[in-house]
Amino acid sequence: MSMEKRELTGELPVESDAAEGDLEALTVPHNEQAWPKDWRAYAACFAGFCGMALCWGTIMTFGSFFRFYDDSLLGNWPSDALIGLIGSVQAFLVLGLSLIAGRILDAQYHRPMLFVGGVMIASSYICLSFVGASWGLILLTQGFMAGFGMACFFTHSSYCAVQWLPGHKYIAIGITSSGASFGGAVFPVAVNGLIGNCGFPSAVRWMALLFGAMSVYCIAFGGPPPNVTKHPLSRSWKCWMNPEAFRNRMFLYFTLGMATVFFGYSPLLFHVTEWAKTGNGLKPYWFLVIMNGSSIVGRLGSAAIASANSKSPNPLLRIHAVSCLVGAILVLAFWQLAEDIPTSISFCVLFGIAAGVFVGLPASVIAYIIPEENKQSLGAWTGMMWSSCAVTCLTGPPITGALVRQRGIPAVGYWAGSCLLLATALISLAAWEKRKYDKSKELAEKRREESEDIPFAEVQAVPEASRDVQYTLPVFSFPVFSLKLAS
């Protein structure tokens, strides 16, 4: 009851047992805006950074393995499409299992899941060092075993950061997602250097040791915050799949857009070293390193912009759509025209920055568009978005490999550019839906404030049943807000 109403009725403020809880509820939003003083929050954020390097950074490194398998280890067979299938299986499992991983995270089983993932990653690369020139065994170890292990770290990276730093979630997600850029820049150098100095088996064992050490850190410091709400698991399919998400047009358009992004982006990563063969003294894997390393600028820059505009309207979706458009233009232009080292490096730097935005922002976008009543299902919504991208990640590289065999390496540029153009249109639709949603919400708030401005004496004159104000705020599709006063 407001102070004006209390003065008119003669009521005095009453202290209740819930006062302490109410005060805490009022102060939480303010406290969340401050940077936490608990060192565990920053240790958990760095654990997310390491986890993203372990999963997506390793996928971004597969271009170096692709080149080594094609040129040295496997020879003329299998084809580029079959070699690319190894990396696409990794990406498929990392994204596809995000649906399960996200729901497990909502139940707060962080450390058990990370333990399983760490064991699988280290074991897979140890096994890879013994399989030799067998495409099938490489697919089993590096594709399936490693992909399963990496899936345990992927969704956890951003989820854990948001839990520990809720008032700075966009910066936290930007920092953790930059772990992929770090891994994608450092791991190719390590792999190529170790293979050249000590051979493929020993190189892979050293990488297994590195991955194991990073996994131990993630397990130790990547747990959930204390007193966090748990959502127990059940056998119901609704426990794992939230049908409300796919009735939300913002989520639906954005998810379709991201699936289209990965349809073209993953094949480009795998073929960039083949495109970069120049014979001018710069080793092809350096182009992959430059592209992955420069993506950290896009990841951190977009996170900073999102954090600076954390209140609605936030330009997240518009930034994402523009980055896809810029990436499409760069690929369609430079992929065909780059014939010397400076032009090729320029393409890798510029496209890397754009890729850092459209690959690094999705988790932030989901945290931005998810309705308030579904905030506790953030892990499930994020997992469903990534899982929807899994099919295109699996099918994109083999399709592109077949195009390369028929049309040559320029086909990769046409394919990736077309996919990014389509993604631009879909994500723009999501931005349009979000704009309509925000305007409708503002209108509903304005009407609510106007109804509260009615003098108290006039309200007293109205029958009790007539003073019920109902607000309808559907979370599905295009939200419609209504204000109903009973007659």
Per-residue pLDDT tens digits for 113-166: 999 999 999 999 999 999 988 999 999 999 999 999 999 998 888 888 888 888
Residue 107 has pLDDT above 90, yes or no: no
- pLDDT tens per residue, range 259-271: 999 999 988 888 8
Residues facing 485 on adjacent strands: 469
Q: What is the pLDDT of residues 188-229, one digit of tens each?
A: 999 999 998 999 999 999 999 999 999 999 999 998 888 777
Rounded percentage of the chain residues whose pLDDT exceeds 70: 82
Give me the pLDDT at residue 53, please: 94
Residue 49's identity, in one-letter code, is: F
Q: Would you state the structure tokens that stand for residue 260, as one six-digit string?
A: 């289209």
**φ, ψ at 258 (rounded to 5°):** -65, -35
The stretch 457-477 carries a mean pLDDT of 44
pLDDT at 442 over 80: yes
Dump the DSSP string for 252-315: HHHHHHHHHHHHHHHHHHHHHHHHT--SSS--THHHHHHHHHHHHHHHHHHHHHHHHT-SSSPT
φ, ψ of residue 288 in degrees (nearest 5): -65, -40
User: 94 near 224, Cβ under 8 Å?
Assistant: no
For residue 186 the two structure tokens come to 């450092």
Residue 325: band (very low, low, confident or very high) from pLDDT cuts 50, 70, 90: very high
Among candidates 166, 186, 144, which has minimal Cα distance to 57?
186
- Please, what is the Cα angle at 156 between 150 and 159, to 5 degrees? 155
Task: Report DSSP state, residue 213.
Answer: H
Q: Is residue 31 over pLDDT 80?
A: no
pLDDT higher than 70, residue 358: yes
What predicted TM-score, i.e. pTM, was given to this entire model? 0.74
CA–CA separation, 168 and 180 (whole Å) = 20
Least confident of 76-85, 273-282, 411-420, 431-440: 273-282
pLDDT the model gives residue 479: 40
pLDDT at 236: 65
Q: How confident is the model at residue 21 (pLDDT cuts 50, 70, 90)?
A: very low
CATH level 3 topology of 40-225+241-441 = Growth Hormone; Chain: A; (1.20.1250)
Whether residue 64 is predicted with pLDDT greater than 60 in this model: the reply is: yes
Query: Does 290 or 12 have the greater pLDDT score?
Result: 290
| Long-range Cβ contact pairs of 120-124 (< 8 A, separation 24 or more) | 120/145, 120/146, 120/148, 120/149, 120/152, 121/54, 121/146, 121/149, 121/150, 121/208, 121/211, 121/212, 121/215, 122/149, 122/208, 122/209, 122/211, 122/212, 122/215, 123/149, 123/208, 124/149, 124/208
Average pLDDT over residues 438-446: 83
Residue 485, phi then psi, degrees to nearest 5:
-115, 120
Q: What local confidence, expressed as pLDDT, does residue 44 receive?
A: 92
Q: What is the arithmetic mean of pLDDT over 420-446?
A: 90
d(CA 358, CA 422): 13
> Which segments of 129-168 does DSSP mark as H helices, in order?
135-138, 146-164
User: pLDDT-derived band of residue 314, with 50, 70 and 90 as boundaries?
Assistant: low
Q: Given pLDDT bands bounded at 50, 70 and 90, which one contains residue 104?
A: confident
Kindly report, residue by residue over 167-177, the tens digit of the pLDDT. 888 888 889 98
Give the per-residue pLDDT at 407: 87
Rg (CA), the chain: 25
Domain ranges for the chain: 40-225+241-441
| pLDDT value at 181 more than 70 | yes
Confidence band (pLDDT; 50, 70, 90) for 240? low
Say what the pLDDT of residue 311 is. 61
Coil, helix or strand for 401? helix
Whole-angstrom distance, CA of residue 400 vs CA of residue 395: 9
Sign of the Cα torsion 382, 388, 394, 397 reads negative
- Over residues 392-408, mean pLDDT: 87
Contacts with 443 (C-beta within 8 Å, 6 or more apart), sequence order: 481
